[in-house]
Structure formats: C-alpha cells, structure tokens
Structure 1
C-alpha cells in the first residue's frame, strides 16, 4: 500500500471510529504532513479525496472539517443490550462513504442506462467483473454462466422449483441448516430429507448411501462458516463431496455466502474440486457490504443454464446497485473493506472463545475451534430447557437464538445448542455476555423444573 493510501485509510478509520467527530476540524495540512512524515502535496491529495467521498468539506482560509451526517454523534457508552442474535453486519463497519462514491461514479459512467429494467442475467459489465473476482476464490467460470441475483435466496428458490437433468426430486439438506430455506422448502411442499452435520463434520458413508439410494436432486451445503454451526469442512471432505456428486449424478448447491470473512488457508470451495460440472456455486455480497444491497452471484453449470434462465425470467435486481458494486470491486475498495471487516470479526470471535475458556471451568458449554466467520454454537447439557434459558437471558438483555429453528420440523436427531453471532456483539460486552450465559446454564442444570 502506498503512503498516500495508508494516510487516507488511517484518516477514514479515525473518522469512522469517532477520533474525529462530525463538524470537527481536521489537523492543518502542514501539521498532518509533519504527523505522517510526508509531503504537503500528499496530505492535500488525501484531504481532497475525503472531500470527494463526502467524508470532509473545506472552508476557504480555514481548513477541512468532518462532514456532519444525519444521526451522527460522538462515541457514547455502549447499550446495555448484548446482541448475540443479529446476523446482519455491524452498521459501524458499513462502507457508507465508499459506496456513495461508487454510486456517483456509476451514475456518471452509465447515466440513463441504469434506469432500464436490464437483463435477467444481470448487468453485463458486472458479470464480466465477477469472472476475475470469483477466480480469486478458485471459482473459474465464463460470464455467460454467471447470474446476478438478489442475494442467494432467489437462486435457492429457483433451484428448488426447477427440474434437473438427473430427473431426481429430493433435496438433501444438512441438519442443522439455514432456517429460512428450510421453512421455504416445507411451505412449498418440496421433497426434502436431512443428513446430520455436527461440529465434527458429517458421515461421508451416510452421504454416499443417500446419494446412491435417495433419489437426490441436489445436496444443499454450506462448506465454509456454516450457519448456524460456524464450522468449515476440511479439504478432504470437500473433495469427497465433489467426487460423490460426479459418481452418483447428484448436484451440489454450494452456498458460500461467507467466503469473504475467512482467513483459513486452503479453504477452496467444493466447486474447485468438481470436474463434471455438478456444482452450483452461490455467493452473497450482503454479509460483507450491507444487507440492503441485496446482491449475490450464482454460477450455473452448462446443463442447467437454459432451465435456470427460463425460471428466472426477468431482472430482479437494481441496475444502479449492480453498477455501483462493479465500481466498488474494480476500484479495490471491496478488497480493502473485506480485510477490514474480516479483521474486526476475527477479533470478536477470538474474544468470545477466550471468554468461554476463562469462565467455563465446569465444562457446561462445548464449542468447536472456530477462528473466523460470524457464528459459534454453544452446545448445552441435555437437561437444559432452551426456551426457559433464552427467556432468562432476554430478561437480562442478552439476546441469543435457540438451535431448534435450524432443523426440519420432522427431523428428530437434534443437538441442543445456542447459535451465538458476533456480528453485532460489541467487543466490550462479549466477556460479560459469555459470563452471564454460563451462569444461566449453571442455574438450568441445577434447576429441578
């Protein structure tokens, strides 16, 4: 990173974290140049860029000031509520100013073209940009096989309803799994069955048996940073899934919605190991940028292309949002933001697991070794009443989610756990929250009712 880029990033961070608050005057150009040990022209360029990004404004013969944004305020004491339930990114890390700049740039570049309905496949220039972007995650595809979707959900719904060339009808899902998709499948009456997945992984022998005998249309899986378990498959497990899909003509729908949040080396997707085009790869940008963006990408195998296109039928995402995302990726802002949010979440995960280590002397909780992502499951003793536990914690303003909701209604081999999300858990509150959870579990274990 160049000196200019380092200074710009540091100034933006200080503004975002409240070191420089709304309306405050920034250090003079001469003082800042001395502070950063650089030339006056470098500081002038950085301040000008802050002004372009609507983070600062200048007053002649006075200097540069932080933009006073609606609702902005100086840092305050954290809320008493400890949120281990929310899965949306922390608003404090949303890239407001960067993305506003990208929206403006997109309007300047494409003008009136952005106000048409667009094509069902998505903005052509964004799809070509995604070719190189996805290649960085070992997902190699032509632009013609990439569809832009409103997050991963729209693609998941289409895939559930459309016929597949293998002529099979049953969807196999991990248990537990993404709760909203499970409820969709049940509500639509789609044939579905489950296979157990724990923190230790899944039984590949059972998976092969289901692939061989179960009439499986596709296997829906989250190999990396699973929701709600937070765990990832080992490389050998991903290779085995890819091999079995080819061997038994079963497709794999790989939901890689949190790929950008990981720091683990050697975590290539299942897609990278399959050589027979039996993997549909899905990615969402909502978890790394902000939920309201509602943009994702689906990489569709050649044999499914025409059917998927027929079922998608129309454009269902904003042209303007797509163009802004294209600018955001090509400018390098996406990569910079990815490193920033990844570091923030990794620090929170580390704080959470360290707090469990300190306060879980009696071993009431079991947690897997998770170092990246958003989720950590707290596996509980069988005697704990989940409903009562969550109610007691809510009374203390500690929000958690019961693991019950992540199973099919008819699935009986369930583990008892809390899904803990660190997405909005403030660093200063994590230890207190963990300590209170363990105390309430201790009360539950000792409760006669």
Structure 2
C-alpha cells in the first residue's frame, strides 16, 4: 500500500500536469478531458487521485463537469493589457505570469485569515511581523536549509524594503561600502546610487567569481556587506557552485564582512537540493532575504529577512512601524500551512523549467553560427544572451522592438561608473509564451547577425 506521502506526491504531480496542459492549450475551451478511468491508466494512479485532482480543478473554475458525460476545459479569459495580445513576444518582463497567479486559493486564504484573526488584523500590528506567520516561516525556511528562530525573522513590505534598510543602517563592523555583483540587480544598483551610499562593483560571470579577488576586497577593511543573489542571479540566471558558497561564508567570518543573500526566487529550484550561503555560515555574518511576491503575485508586497543576532536591534530601530499588511501576512500564513504554497511553487517551477528548456532548444536550432553565448541554465526565469563586442546593442534592441520582440539590454545591470561591462541581453521567460519562444529567439539571432559590425 502506498504511503500518504507518496499518494500526496502523486496527486500533486497529476494536478500540476493537468494545470500545465490546460494553461498551454492542450485541452482547448470546451474540449473533453480524459475520463477518470482513462486518466487512471494515463497517470498510473488510483481513481481517487484523479477524482481529487478533477474536483480541485473544478473548484478553481479551470474545468466543469456535465453529468453522465465528463469533464471539460473552461475557456480562459485574457487581459487585453497582456503584451502578447498585441503580437509581442515578451522577453523583458520580470513580473510573474498573471495566468499563474493563485487567485482562488489566496481568496480562500484571505477569508480563512479574517475568520481566524478577526479584528486583530485591522490594527497596526507588530513591526517585526505577525507572530504566527514568523512561527510558520521557521519551518518554511528550514525546507530551504535556512534554520532560524522566529525572533530573528522580520517580515517586510517586500524584499526591497529589507534591502533598503540594510543599505542605510550602520553595521557593527563599522564599515561603509556595499559591494555588489556586476552585472547585478538593476533596481538595487539605482537605489544605492540615488541614496549616495558608497558602493563598489565586483565582477561575476556565468562561470562564477574569482574568490581570491573577493578575499582581497574583504581584507581591505572597507566592505560593510557583499550583496549577492547566489541562486538564479538576475540578470545572469546562474547559481554559485557549492565550493563558492562555502568560501563566501568562510571569508565573511574571517574578515568581519557581512553577506546579504537575496534568494528572491528560491522556490523555482524544482525540488533540487541547494544549500544557500546562509546554511554554511558558522560566524553569524549572513543576512538571508526572501521575497514572496515573485512566487505568489507582486501585489502581495511581502518579504522576510533572517537577521544575525548582532543586527536585530539596529534593523528594528529602522523599521519602527508595522507597514506590511497584516491581512496579507495572515493569508500567507494560511496559504503556507495548508500546503497551497508548496503545490503552487512546484507548478510554476515546472512551467518555467519547460519554457527554459524550449528557449535552450530554440537557441541551439536557430543559432547555427554560435553568435550568441549562453550558459546552461535550466531553471529560474533569467538567462544571459552574451553578444560579440562588435554588435550595436542599442540598434539591435530597437530593431527587435520594431519586430515585436521585447528584450532588456545588459548595460542597465551595471553601476553607472563601471567601465568593464559585457554586451548582452537579459532574457526572461517569466511572461514569454511557450509557443512563441522559438519565433522570438530566431528574431534575436537574426538581428544579432545584422547588427554585428564587420
């Protein structure tokens, strides 16, 4: 007899696959889905698992049933503001695909949260975050190998708020300079420059970083913290190797330099085991920051930071108000506790992995001359299309836009005074429709060849 864990895993696998087929149009509007008996054979599971999956899809209004006939796909409405509606292929947007937003699940969680907490949700709340959510996050983070006490977790109004506070506040090491990866997260770079915060760039490529050079930077005694996206870095899309993560953690403790690890899309790992830098830190010098907006929807505006003991009081002094919505926090707590978060993250991780695979296959098929250099990125949402130095990047980006292909040029991901920057496009599969990815890649290859000055 199958264990409960195996039954649950099979159910989630079936449900995820059915959702994927509905979303990608495999079952068009009004088309009949396999009968329960057919689906049982197709998926190699019990009839109860299929019935449960169909019931969940019906509750979500993804399918409908006709007595004595079967289950049918519901027509999917599209927002007329969707850029793909105008014939555009969107490789630029960093926002999650709206068709993947868990509207109905989260609506249910909002109602449950109100019933559970009632009037307490409409007060100012604790600046550190809802106590029950922080307790829930203890076990949630443990799944990512981030072991923390609830008192060291602070819920923020998006991950960006945590990053902003960390940049502005004084650190116990007395240092001033923020070290950032180049290329790196563009919005944070612009924030640091606008606020006049001392900042220096450190080169990172799809192959990783030079650890000896990083040690020299840490040993200089100037670096307050090193800001890094260790996993699925924006814009490169690559992740640090295990030896790099271990070394960074060790260097931080050795030179009293902190590491701010922005694990913004940790949930897109598809179940592959990955220990963040935080898990290797034996000196309490890593701040772990995570966003929930990327995995649920941007409007949620919730993030969390796991702080070393030495930083707790200073951070909380800067975050004096309970500015993160208590209702959203309570709903997120229900969403995680009920297993909906895990199910949703597996579904979207699978979707993005399929798009990334399609992208890689398309590049291999279209770029017979190898004009574009791309790392082997199979998960996450970003990948770097590195171009020859002779390509006129501005002209190429403009010509692609005229052809309806939206991309982001790489120069935006560097500090304004950083001189040694590569020519590349950051390609995002977040909003790219799977059936148009090859068309978009072909256009990029064609324009790269056209704009490559001889």
Same fold per superposition (TM over 0.5): yes
Match of 1:161 among 161, 164, 168: 168
1:33·1:39 contact (CA, 8 Å) conserved in 2?
no
**What SS is found at the alignment partner of 2:383?**
strand
CA deviations 1:138-185 (Å, max 9, x no partner) are 100000000111221000000011100001111011111111111111
- How many residue pairs get aligned? The number is 440
Deviation at 1:263, TM superposition (A): 3.7
Structure 2 unpaired stretches of 5+: 1-6
CA deviations 1:224-254 (Å, max 9, x no partner) are 1000011111000010100000000000000
Aligned equivalent of 1:351 = 358
**What SS is found at the alignment partner of 2:204?**
strand
Inter-CA distance 369–14: structure 2 relative to 1 (3 Å threshold): closer
Aligned equivalent of 2:385 = 378
Q: How does 1:100-115 map to 2 (within 5 A)?
A: 100-115=107-122
Match of 1:85 among 86, 92, 95: 92
1:231 to 2:213 alignment: no
Q: How high is the TM-score relative to the length of structure 2? A: 0.88
Aligned equivalent of 1:185 = 192
**What SS is found at the alignment partner of 1:202?**
coil
1:151·1:285 contact (CA, 8 Å) conserved in 2?
yes
Deviation at 1:259, TM superposition (A): 1.0
Q: How does 1:20-419 map to 2 (within 5 A)?
A: 33-36=36-39, 79-263=86-270, 265-419=272-426
2:270·2:346 contact (CA, 8 Å) conserved in 1?
no
1:52·1:101 contact (CA, 8 Å) conserved in 2?
no
1:420 to 2:427 alignment: yes
Separation in 1, partners of 2:31, 2:450: 52
Deviation at 1:267, TM superposition (A): 2.3
Deviation at 1:345, TM superposition (A): 0.7
Deviation at 1:280, TM superposition (A): 0.2
Separation in 2, partners of 1:427, 1:58: 28
CA deviations 1:66-97 (Å, max 9, x no partner) are 88998689xxx965211100011111211122
CA deviations 1:15-56 (Å, max 9, x no partner) are 65567788x6988xxx95555569999888777656765667
**What SS is found at the alignment partner of 2:202?**
strand
Separation in 2, partners of 1:270, 1:101: 35
Separation in 2, partners of 1:254, 1:270: 7
Inter-CA distance 406–5: structure 2 relative to 1 (3 Å threshold): closer
Aligned equivalent of 2:4 = none
Separation in 1, partners of 2:188, 2:59: 41
**What SS is found at the alignment partner of 1:201?**
coil
2:264·2:294 contact (CA, 8 Å) conserved in 1?
yes
Q: CA RMSD in A?
A: 3.0
Deviation at 1:265, TM superposition (A): 4.0
Inter-CA distance 438–248: structure 2 relative to 1 (3 Å threshold): same
1:146·1:300 contact (CA, 8 Å) conserved in 2?
yes
Structure 1 unpaired stretches of 5+: none
Separation in 2, partners of 1:8, 1:150: 32
Separation in 1, partners of 2:16, 2:386: 40
Separation in 2, partners of 1:19, 1:368: 30
1:166·1:250 contact (CA, 8 Å) conserved in 2?
yes
Separation in 2, partners of 1:362, 1:47: 47
**What SS is found at the alignment partner of 2:452?**
helix
